[in-house]
């Protein structure tokens, strides 16, 4: 059987780690980036470079994308360099971006109806460290047939867990549920960390003390003491969580789902952006609580 030719577009913090993982696994990969400064590292790792999104799609059987949001995905498909012009019968588009579920459904229908191209929406959770080790949690939406076409390469190289959640858009909806937990927990962890310090206890002992109890979580174990240390090493950005919580609230509005806690978490993250912290790590939300009274 002829090996599938693969391409990757979206070489930022998350997508770049995924593309490097595929190259590390020895898979031939073609890449394209709007920011050409990102390309040399991938070329050095063995990737080929396409002249445009359309050229990449034309030369590849499976096209992976990992871009910032729905607008960026639409621009990639229909804007300058129109990736859609390179899509044809039998190709597969796997979108690892976090995007709007309804738009993902619409794009999937258009690609299949007009170009014979299948699409899986497959947003990811776990961050670059999980991408580097091939242990991402990936939530997929699409047909059973299309899912099986890409399941092997994703499970063997990128995912610790890959779950087909339903038809097109289901992966995106599941990712927004994931981000509901993450965005709210970040805000709660920051509050709890500040309360622990104000209460005069040895706050850094909290994760170990609560490990295995009802309040335990991976986020508590990984992020609580990072907040207390105040170093906030670069990882996922405040702007990304803010964007995702806005998408959650948009879905909530369209489904008439009340989400008062998530609305508050979204505003707390927006306050961080308003104060110039949009590009800082998500744990930096602890800065809202400062060393004195709350800033509102």
**Residues noted as catalytic:** 175
Cα–Cα nearest to 222, from 180, 281, 273? 281
CB count within 10 Å of CB 241 equals 23
First to last CA, the chain: 63
DSSP SS3 for 117: coil
Residue 191 is classified by DSSP as H
Angle at Cα 54 formed by Cα 49 and Cα 57, nearest 5°?
75
Measured on CA atoms in the order 192, 198, 204, 205, is the torsion positive or negative?
negative
**Other Cβ atoms closer than 10 A to 200:** 7
Which has the closest alpha carbon to 204: 212, 193, 195?
Answer: 193
Q: Which residue has the tokens 């508050």?
A: 264
Secondary structure E strands in the chain? 6-9, 29-32, 48-49, 62-65, 92-95, 118-121, 124-125, 136-141, 159-166
How deeply is 90 buried, as exposed, middle or buried, from its count of CB atoms within 10 A (0-12, 13-18, 19+)? exposed
C-alpha distances (whole Å) from 240 to each of 80, 135, 205, 234, 266 are 24, 21, 29, 13, 11
Class of residue 94 by CB neighbours under 10 A (exposed 0-12, middle 13-18, buried 19+)? buried
């Amino acid at each position: 059987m002829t090996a599938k030719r693969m391409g990757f577009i979206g070489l930022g913090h998350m997508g770049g780690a995924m593309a490097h993982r595929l190259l590390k696994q020895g898979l031939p990969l073609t890449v394209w980036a709007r920011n050409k400064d990102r390309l040399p590292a991938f070329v050095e790792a063995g990737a080929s470079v396409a002249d445009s999104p359309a050229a990449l799609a034309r030369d590849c059987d499976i096209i992976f994308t990992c871009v910032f949001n729905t607008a960026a995905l639409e621009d990639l498909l229909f804007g300058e360099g129109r990736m859609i012009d390179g899509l044809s019968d039998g190709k597969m588009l796997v979108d690892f971006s976090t995007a709007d579920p309804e738009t993902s459904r619409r794009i999937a229908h258009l690609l299949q109806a007009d170009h014979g191209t299948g699409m899986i929406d497959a947003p990811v959770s776990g961050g670059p460290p999980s991408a580097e080790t091939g242990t991402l949690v990936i939530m997929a939406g699409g047909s059973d047939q299309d899912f099986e076409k890409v399941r092997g390469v994703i499970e063997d190289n990128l995912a610790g867990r890959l779950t087909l959640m339903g038809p097109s858009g289901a992966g995106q909806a599941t990712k927004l549920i994931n981000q509901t937990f993450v965005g709210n927990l970040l805000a709660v962890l920051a509050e709890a960390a500040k309360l622990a310090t104000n209460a005069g206890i040895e706050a850094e002992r909290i994760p170990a003390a609560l490990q295995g109890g009802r309040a335990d979580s991976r986020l508590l174990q990984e992020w609580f003491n990072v907040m207390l240390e105040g170093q906030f090493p670069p990882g996922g950005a405040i702007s990304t969580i803010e964007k995702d919580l806005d998408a959650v609230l948009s879905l909530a509005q369209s489904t008439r789902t009340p989400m008062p806690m998530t609305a508050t978490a979204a505003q707390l993250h927006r306050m961080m952006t308003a104060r110039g912290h949009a590009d800082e790590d998500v744990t930096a939300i602890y800065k809202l609580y400062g060393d004195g009274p709350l800033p509102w």
